[in-house]
Structure 1
Amino acid sequence: MKSSPKRLINKVVSLEEALAFIDDGCTLMFGGFGGVGNPPTLIQGILDKGVKDLTLIGNDTGFPTIGIGKIVSQRRAKKIIVSHIGSNPNAGQYMMDGTLEVEFSPQGTLAERIRAGGVGLAGILTDVGLDSMVEEGKQKITINGNAYLVETALTADVSIIHAKRADTFGNLIYETSARNTNPLVAMAGTITIVEADEIVEVGELDPEEIVTPGVYVDRVVQSKGVDWTWAWE
């Protein structure tokens, strides 16, 4: 007689349980682009909890009152690793006055560094940034007569991402462009927390639509919705 298969782990938790993994001084990686695809409920929870001295890794710093930009604007980050900060003037001001350390990485290079971290590589080789300020302090390698920069892989204590739909095991479907960088970020965190607009039972998602498999996900939180307040502070 065959034994019945074990039930898959239910990873759905409350916001408070998820936030227990995020403390002062941790390295936090986030998905999304310009605020779209950032997990709003988790970000607001981080602010409400009073977490500070974060190292943030993601594509950009959002807008002053949108997405990850809220954390930056409220001075909860001590360092950011991003491709640009142009949409958040607060980030630029903090960088100029020396209260925020900023490491810039070209957008494609940044994405590949995150992907490398997620798959266990130590880094990548790229010719982007050669003979520019980008190469300062970085190792150079010559292969077949061509020079490359060594860009180290990026990982985080916690990754936070936003999905359109998730099942209780953490299989994920994204909303069009909100998918931007989320699948890569999901792989690169020691703990990955997903905020989902809709949570369903295992088996209810079309396998052909699943982008991130649940093996990369540790916790799933129900989203409370997005606050698109386009006010500049």
Structure 2
Amino acid sequence: EERGINHFAHQGLLRETFGAHYGTIRKLSPLILENKIKAYNIPQGVIIQLYRALGANLPGIITHVGLETFIDPKYEGGKLNSISDEDYVRRIVIDDKDFLYYKNPGKINYCLLRGSESDENVNISFKKEGLNLDSLTIAIACKNSGGKVIVQVGKLVKNGEINPKDVVIPNILVDYFVLSSDKKYHMQTGGTYFNEDFLVNKIVEKSISGPRQLDIRKIIARRCAMFLNKDIKVLNFGIGIPEIVSAVLDEELIAQNFVTTIESGIVGGIAQSGLDFGVAKYPEAIIDATYQFDFYDGGGIDMAFLGMGECDKDGNINVSKLGNVVTGSGGFIDIAQNSKTVIFSGTFTAGGLKVDVDNHKLNIINEGKNKKFVNTVAQITYAGSYGFKSGQTVYVVTERAVFKLCENGFKLIEIAPGINLDKDILSQMEFMPEISHELKIMDIRIFSDKLMGLNNI
């Protein structure tokens, strides 16, 4: 809470925010919720495209991303409180198809970026940075707005020491650089000062430490992993339980059959979690996030594993508005709306839920006090009706039940061994789901300490 944009979170200093993910900017939440600043949530990939449009002197962008979600002016228009009165998003029709037009919020007066090295002519390399992100796109947008580009670097080198292909931000875009050699002000990620493994691609010997301890998160992740097959190649993992899916693939010795991607620009490698989320150990490629979202928006992801905060009777998912914290959508909308197959995952209830496994059966020791399957989600981050009409294959996986998206919402297709349908599932939902006539029991291998034997994938 003491780093990054949190430094600017003071009443009177900020007038308005325009962002994708507010989860790590905890000090902004009270200002937004108390109507002390205007605030807007726009999908991460759309914001990056808006930077690119601004750099090319275009008024905005047209895209399908965000349709039927809370970003759509049909609902909230991405406005996060009642004083946010600017209409940055409009719904339009082109050739009988619905699109959203996102208006650029205005010119950029200053941008604050970071690189690793600057030469004497102020060409900036990202030699030790774990990611390029959208830094070049932002620099162009700011410079062509007449703004000032300020770049922090850790080292000044002589002209000629930076290979031309290693220059990420050329000197024609930089107004000032700030030299900061103190590593505490130049961390590689939110949780790591520097790790060479984030920058190199090398073959890693398989771990022989044994499988991860079986808990509720692993139970869910295991069921998620079982959706994979030989026709699936490109994956994306969200934050939380989806991160455990990656660990399951690793311990089942099938991770090499797939290519992990992260919206930050990572291709391949071992995705990291927590404050290191966004980077990977031993990546095969690190590209600009701008181009990663181009790939995503065009349908490049075969299967995405994403979190689930709430799910409602219409097949909608909410991850962006939970409790009294402004979280935002981040890249969730871009990914969820455009992936060929989406697996949403989360515990069935929240707030004190405890389970255990005995003889391949799941037991509810203490039920969560908060229902997550509700009549209406607090905010639509993923629209089930839009996904179904788009031809997506979509599932919701919990520790005790699996649902499939159908025309009228989610259909219950599997329950865990040991679970009572009425007591443990239906009574813990605010709505009655459609129940498959071929309701199945989840694979008992999921509820064992032993490996599942997924190496046939």
Given that 1:122 and 1:152 are in contact with CA atoms closer than 8 Å, whether structure 2 keeps it comes out as: yes
TM superposition score normalised by structure 1: 0.64
Contact 2:136/2:169 (<8 A) preserved: yes
CA contact (8 A) 2:117 2:156 kept: yes
Check whether the contact 1:168–1:220 (CA below 8 A) recurs between aligned residues.
no
Alpha-carbon distance in structure 1 between the residues aligned to 2:158 and 2:66: 46
Question: Which of 137, 141, 149 is 1:184 aligned to?
Answer: 137
User: How do 1:14-163 and structure 2 match up within 5 A?
Assistant: 64-72=1-9, 76-136=13-73, 137=87, 138-153=89-104, 155-163=107-115
Q: For 2:130 and 2:56, how far apart are their aligned partners in 1?
A: 23
Q: Secondary structure, in 3 states, of the residue corresponding to 1:94?
A: helix
Range with greater deviation from structure 2 (105-114 or 152-161): 152-161
Deviations 1:44-87 (A, max 9, x none): xxxxxxxxxxxxxxxxxxxx111222222686322211102112
> Which one of the candidate residues 164, 183, 194 is aligned to 1:207?
164
Deviations 1:175-224 (CA, angstroms, capped at 9, x unpaired) = 33342222222112211111111122332211121112211111122124
1:197–1:145 Cα change, 3 Å: same
CA distance in 2, matches of 1:166, 1:108: 28
1:65, 1:178 → 2: CA distance?
A: 22
Aligned twin of 1:45 = none
When normalised by structure 2's length, the TM-score is 0.34
After superposition, where does 1:193-204 map in structure 2 within 5 Å? 193-204=150-161
Pair 207,162 (structure 1): closer, same or farther in 2 beyond 3 Å: same
- After superposition, what is the alpha-carbon deviation per residue over 1:14-53, rounded to whole angstroms, capped at 9, x for unaligned? xxxxxxxxxxxxxxxxxxxxxxxxxxxxxxxxxxxxxxxx
Match for 2:30: what amino acid? Q
Which string of whole-angstrom CA distances, capped at 9 and with x for unpartnered residues, describes residues 127-160 of structure 1? 1112233122433333333221111235311111
Identity in percent: 22
Structure 2, unaligned runs of 5 or more: 74-86, 192-457
In structure 2, C-alpha distance between the alignment counterparts of 1:77 and 1:117, rounded to whole Å: 22
- SS at 1:177 equivalent: coil
* Cα distance change of structure 1 residues 120 and 109 upon mapping to structure 2, 3 Å threshold: same
Residue aligned with 2:152, SS: strand
Distance 2:55 2:122 in 1: 17
Structure 1: gaps (5+ residues): 1-63
Moved more, 64-73 or 203-212: 64-73
Q: What's the secondary structure of 2:9's corresponding residue? A: helix
The aligned counterpart of 2:223 is: none
3-state SS of paired residue (2:24): coil
Which deviations, in whole Å up to 9, do the C-alpha atoms of 1:74-114 show, x marking residues without a partner?
A: 86322211102112322111111111221111011011111
| Distance in structure 1 (CA, Å) of the matches to 2:25 and 2:66 | 24
